[in-house]
Amino acid sequence: MDVEQLRVTVYRIFAGTGRAPSAEDLMRELDAPRSQVDEGLRALAAARHLALDARGSITMAHPFSAVPLGFSVMGATTLWWGGCAWDSFALPHLLDDADPALVATRCPACDTPHVWDVTRQTPPPGDQVAHFLVPAAHMWDDVVHTCGHQRIFCSQPCVDAWLKRTGNAPGYVLDLPTLWRLASRWYEGRLDHGYIRREPAAAADYLRSVGLTGPFWGT
């Protein structure tokens, strides 16, 4: 099986339907046996193109998520789970159907609802802040945990209250314009054939270009 064709098929089904394709979906789309589909998915997971659960089903194919992690993203015709703040703000930049997108969440500290119209043109207005708990070097240690802890809060006091309640150490706080810049070009080309994930040096260059530096980011 052509693993690159499998990757593109996974992403395009996720983009078009808002849900992760099952092994049966992929077998039908690619006219391939289950053994080849499963082997291809494991290869893509090893290369960090997607994350699988214990049964081998697709959990995440960034910026798409098969499970709710605190965000919903509504486009013109499709509704997606937003895997995290980063991925939710990235979808409008990746998908024509999601420009603009209505991104919704609740503050993890006080449960206040928040919603933004996110577009490719300018960051959405708002004084809210995003808090990323897991440093960049360890984001793939448990990527679902990582994404579940990239959340948007009402303000720094809400971040502080949540950290105190949960016993977590402080991570990194971003304002909405910085979050929007981070998300804007991170996934460029991911739906196309020949996409290559950024190597560490290129990733560090990108992070610096959007204003993210220091030990948390490895830059």
- Give the domain range for residue 20: 3-61
CATH code where residue 20 lies: 1.10.10.10
pLDDT above 90 (res 1): no
Residue 216 burial (CB < 10 Å; 0-12/13-18/19+)?
Answer: middle
**Is 69 part of any domain?**
no
Query: Is the domain of 9 the same as that of 114?
Result: no
Confidence of residue 201 (pLDDT cuts 50, 70, 90): very high
pTM assigned to the model? 0.95
Q: What is the pLDDT of residues 142-195, one digit of tens each?
A: 999 999 999 999 999 999 999 999 999 999 999 999 999 999 999 999 999 999
Per-residue pLDDT tens digits for 115-133: 999 999 999 999 999 999 9
| Pair 123, 158 in one domain | yes
Question: What's the pLDDT score for residue 97?
Answer: 87
Any domain includes 29: yes
Q: According to the model, what pLDDT value does residue 22 have? A: 97
Whether 66 maps to a domain, the answer reads no
Which residue shows structure tokens 């939710």? 88
**Nearest to 90, CA basis, from 212, 186, 159:** 186
Q: 54 and 154 share a domain?
A: no
Task: Say yes or no: 92 and 53 in one domain.
Answer: no
Q: Does some domain include residue 158?
A: yes
| Domain-embedded: residue 73 | no
